[in-house]
Amino acid sequence: MDDQIELDKKGIQFHYDLPPEFFHYFLDPDLNYSCCYFQNTDDPLEKAAKNKLSLICKKLSVSKDDHVLDIGCGWGNFIFFAAENYGCHVTGITLSPAQIDYIEGKASQKGISHLIKARVMHAHEMNFKPREFNKIVTIGAIEHISDLERMFASCFNILKDDGLMLVHSMSIPWKNRKEQLAGKFSESMQFLREHIFPVGQMITLNEILRTMEENNFEIIDVENITDHYTLTLRCWLNNLQKKRKEIEEKKIVEPLKLRAQLLFLMGCVQAFKDNNVYCYHTLARKILEGSRKQLPLTRKGYCL
């Protein structure tokens, strides 16, 4: 196993293997740890979380006969939503064993283990069969994945010929990327590395699209969902601030972890406000020789 994979596993487990109970204190009940989707600025977080999953399923035209792969599946929110609402098969991969335990327990409680598989697997070494999936989704995970070239190349291989892929990802403006490439890391970046996410980096949307195109994906639709992330982060921060005392009293996590998470969420709200981070949905399909399958003709096919 290569050194990068070991480092990534340790880095991811550092954050995601904290007790799920901790995340329940500030995320929505299904533990979506990525930007939700608001139709009104005062929508409750829970509704915005469901909107996001429903929008992604619509963009991917998820149906009963699909087998969907979720790369970086977290605590399985997309997996459960797709399996329960569409009856399709869903496989999720994550680097956190604690998340796998959580998903397996919940699937068996709900009696839908036959539709759901969850594996500890790195996005760099996905050992699925060629054309095993009709759809691939990755929500808030590529920020942790260092070799996107490798990941998109395997996505092309494991996706069926008329398959679709949706990438929900953060990115940064070119001015910040230029500094990053010159080796300049801000204090907030160093804090993030030390206390929250030891692995990962953000790149520009242009680089993500280029890597997808270089791996023979045709870009179908791109939606900027940045403002939805600002709203999502404000909800998470409010929730954590309200529950701070209770988390301290019950000793859910170490005091330093709790303070670091509060600071992290405050920093994220500011970063989005200051135009230093963006968030996008990119829908794409495999480029193939031969005839094109008809997709929705208008953007109505890609909105709620």
What residues make contact with ligand SAM under the rule CB under 6 A?
8, 12, 16, 32-34, 71-74, 77, 93-96, 99, 122-123, 139-141, 144-145
Contact (CB, 8 A) for 100 and 76 = no
Q: Which is nearer to ligand SAM, 50 or 144 (CB)?
A: 144
Nearest distance from C-beta of residue 208 to ligand SAM, angstroms? 15
CB 143 to ligand SAM: min, Å: 7
- How many Cα atoms occupy the beta-carbon half-sphere of 9 within 13 Å? 14
Cβ proximity to ligand SAM, 17 vs 221, nearer residue: 17
Kindly report the backbone phi and psi dihedral angles of residue 277, in degrees, each rounded to the nearest multiple of 5, phi listed first.
-140, 145
Give least dist CB 176 to ligand SAM, A. 20
User: Long-range pairs for 253-257 at CB < 8 Å and ≥24 separation?
Assistant: 253/18, 253/19, 253/22, 256/195, 257/18, 257/22, 257/195
Cβ–Cβ < 8 Å for 260, 72 = no
User: Which CB sits closer to ligand SAM, 83 or 95?
Assistant: 95
Report CA torsion sign: 40, 37, 283, 304: negative
Nearer Cβ to ligand SAM (94/211): 94
Q: How far is the CB of 256 from ligand SAM (least distance, A)?
A: 21
Give the nearer residue to ligand SAM in terms of CB position, either 147 or 221. 147
Q: Are strands 67-71 and 133-139 parallel, antiparallel or unpaired?
A: parallel
Which residue lies nearer to ligand SAM by CB, 74 or 163? 74
Q: Considering the complex, state which of residue 217 and residue 229 has its C-beta at the smaller distance from ligand SAM.
A: 229
Query: Longest Cα pair distance anywhere in the chain, in angstroms?
Result: 63
Rounded least distance, CB 275 to ligand SAM, Å: 21
Give least dist CB 236 to ligand SAM, A.
12
The least CB distance from residue 249 to ligand SAM, in Å, is: 27
CB atoms within 10 A of CB 90: 29
DSSP conformation letters of 139-200: ES-GGG-S-HHHHHHHHHHHEEEEEEEEEEEEE--HHHHHHHHTT---HHHHHHHHHT-SS-
180 close to 201: Cβ distance less than 8 angstroms: yes
Report how far residue 198's alpha carbon sits from residue 186's, in angstroms, rounded to the nearest whole number.
15
Helix, coil or strand: residue 134: strand
